[in-house]
């Protein structure tokens, strides 16, 4: 009998141990999955909320500069946290206003605040207001505020008269370099917009590399590529208009611009030359920012009836079936791939919906757009590869999408 009870107690212990291990395994599994979700998406939470600058000034007890430095560090931390999570910078905006109330000559706070508010948040007018505040609080202290204020007006807001005011304010500063004077003439020239934008992006890029700031380095590099691409396309569009004026018809490929010699001689930036200059300086272990002017000048070269090289290493092309009102009929392969990807995603959704409603896939893509005249070809003039049996839709140019 005693042996029987011992056996039952042992079985209960074994059963309890098995159940405990199962429960523990389930807990570990769900906890691991939850931690994985947190790692993928963990929004940054602000822990510093400040009133207006004049109130912070009162509680700083005369240590305004120290308080400004402390809030500056928190502003950088908050920007990095939001950049890597939700990209919502609304709580950061007030920090730059408070910093510059405490220290009117905190130039980096004005400039970085303009970048966060304008470039990242998309509120260029608020960013420019911070720059204007700096010019009023610290007039003639440095050219940099007027220089970047002019950039915002030209490139982001298209307010050219206002840009001239900022450049003139920059010229009054004792540290203003000679090249800023030339920007006043760039504002009135068609290509000046791109030239100003490129100079700003390159300076941001060089500063980020010098400071080993990988996030801002990546942002600036992508912005440089965008500016160079738009500059090239503007040149090609202008040449295409000359071609049409001369021959009475639109171009069908960009080689016609070279063959007809309508491109002529022009100046444009080359991304590979920019990287060559930077790499050469880094090999010599030099700081890049002091070489800013030299690097910008080396980046821009003169072309003699040649097509400019696309920065990403692909090429430019003429979009199929351009419309008279569409100025943007010249594109890049990178942009084309992205547009094809978006088109495929949208039409695949329509195919799925059609199958749910009709019980079968559409026989042709035209069935998705009843009553509309639509030629099912991509921007290269190539037909889409569509199977009515499986509902599969692919691009003949980018079959991997």
Regarding whether 183 and 65 lie in a shared domain, the answer is yes
**Bridge-based pairing state of the strands 300-304 and 330-332:** unpaired
Whether 253 maps to a domain, the answer reads yes
What pLDDT is stored for residue 269 in this prediction?
94
How many structural domains does the chain have?
3
Whether 4 maps to a domain, the answer reads no
Cβ atoms of 330 and 236 closer than 8 Å: yes
Whether 281 maps to a domain, the answer reads yes
What pLDDT is stored for residue 108 in this prediction?
86
Regarding whether 267 and 135 lie in a shared domain, the answer is no
Whether 324 maps to a domain, the answer reads no
Regarding whether 341 and 294 lie in a shared domain, the answer is no
Distance CA 386, CA 391 (A): 7
Residues near 81 by Cβ (< 8 Å), separated by ≥ 6?
Answer: 44
Domain boundary among 212, 234, 252: 212
Cβ atoms of 117 and 123 closer than 8 Å: yes
Regarding whether 231 and 346 lie in a shared domain, the answer is no
Whether 109 maps to a domain, the answer reads yes
What pLDDT is stored for residue 303 in this prediction?
93
What pLDDT is stored for residue 282 in this prediction?
92
Q: What is the CA radius of gyration of the chain?
A: 30
Domain boundary among 168, 184, 212: 212
Regarding whether 200 and 74 lie in a shared domain, the answer is yes
Regarding whether 228 and 144 lie in a shared domain, the answer is no
What pLDDT is stored for residue 5 in this prediction?
46
Distance CA 88, CA 73 (A): 18
What pLDDT is stored for residue 385 in this prediction?
85
Whether 39 maps to a domain, the answer reads no
Domain boundary among 261, 289, 318: 318
- 10-residue block means of pLDDT along the chain (401 residues)? 51 63 66 58 52 62 75 75 66 78 84 80 82 86 89 82 87 85 64 74 90 87 88 90 88 88 92 94 90 92 92 82 56 80 85 86 81 68 82 84 79
Q: What is the DSSP string of 83-146?
A: HTTT---HHHHHHHHHHHHH-TT-HHHHHHHHIIIIIIT--HHHHHHHHHHHHHHSTTS-SHHH
The parent domain of residue 359 ranges over 335-394
**Residue 109 belongs to domain with CATH number:** 1.25.40.10
Identify any residues that bridge with 48 across adjacent strands, giving them in sequence order: none
Whether 48 maps to a domain, the answer reads no
Regarding whether 382 and 310 lie in a shared domain, the answer is no
Cβ atoms of 101 and 53 closer than 8 Å: yes
What pLDDT is stored for residue 47 in this prediction?
47
Helix (H, G, I), strand (E, B) or coil at 72: helix
Identify any residues that bridge with 332 across adjacent strands, giving them in sequence order: 316
What pLDDT is stored for residue 66 in this prediction?
79
What pLDDT is stored for residue 138 in this prediction?
85
Distance CA 336, CA 319 (A): 9
Helix (H, G, I), strand (E, B) or coil at 295: helix
Regarding whether 164 and 59 lie in a shared domain, the answer is yes
Regarding whether 145 and 66 lie in a shared domain, the answer is yes
Regarding whether 344 and 265 lie in a shared domain, the answer is no
Whether 197 maps to a domain, the answer reads yes
What pLDDT is stored for residue 274 in this prediction?
95
């Amino acid at each position: 009998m005693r042996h029987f009870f011992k056996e039952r107690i042992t079985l209960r212990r074994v059963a309890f141990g098995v159940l405990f291990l199962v429960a523990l395994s389930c807990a570990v599994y769900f906890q691991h999955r939850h931690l994985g979700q947190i790692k993928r998406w963990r929004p940054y939470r602000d822990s510093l909320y400040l009133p207006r600058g004049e109130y912070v000034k009162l509680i700083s007890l005369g240590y305004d500069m120290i308080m400004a430095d402390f809030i500056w560090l928190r502003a950088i931390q908050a920007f990095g946290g939001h950049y890597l999570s939700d990209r919502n910078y609304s709580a950061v905006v007030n920090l730059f206003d408070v910093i510059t109330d405490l220290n009117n000559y905190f130039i980096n706070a004005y400039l970085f605040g303009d970048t966060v508010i304008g470039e990242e948040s998309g509120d260029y007018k608020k960013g420019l207001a911070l720059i204007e505040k700096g010019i009023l609080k610290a007039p003639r202290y440095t050219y940099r505020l007027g220089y970047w204020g002019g950039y915002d007006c030209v490139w982001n807001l298209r307010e050219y008269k206002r840009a001239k005011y900022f450049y003139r304010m920059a010229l009054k500063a004792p540290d203003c370099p000679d090249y800023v004077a030339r920007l006043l003439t760039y504002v009135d020239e068609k290509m000046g917009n791109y030239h100003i934008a490129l100079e700003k992006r390159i300076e941001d890029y060089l500063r980020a590399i010098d400071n080993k700031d990988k996030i801002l380095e990546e942002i600036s590099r992508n912005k440089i590529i965008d500016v160079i691409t738009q500059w090239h396309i503007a040149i090609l569009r202008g040449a295409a208009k000359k071609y049409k004026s001369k021959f009475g018809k639109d171009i069908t490929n960009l080689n016609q611009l070279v063959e007809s010699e309508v491109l002529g001689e022009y100046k444009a930036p080359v991304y590979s030359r920019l990287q060559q200059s930077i790499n050469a300086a880094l090999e010599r272990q030099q700081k890049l920012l002091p070489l800013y002017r030299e690097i910008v000048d080396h980046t821009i070269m003169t072309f003699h009836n040649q097509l400019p090289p696309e920065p990403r290493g692909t090429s430019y092309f003429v979009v199929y079936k351009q419309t008279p009102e569409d100025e943007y009929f010249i594109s890049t392969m990178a942009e084309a791939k992205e547009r094809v990807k978006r088109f495929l995603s949208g039409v695949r959704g329509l195919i799925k919906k059609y199958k749910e409603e009709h019980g079968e896939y559409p026989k042709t893509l035209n069935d998705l757009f009843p009553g509309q005249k639509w030629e099912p070809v991509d921007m290269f003039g190539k037909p889409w590869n569509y199977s009515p049996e499986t509902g599969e839709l692919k691009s003949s140019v980018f079959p991997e999408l």
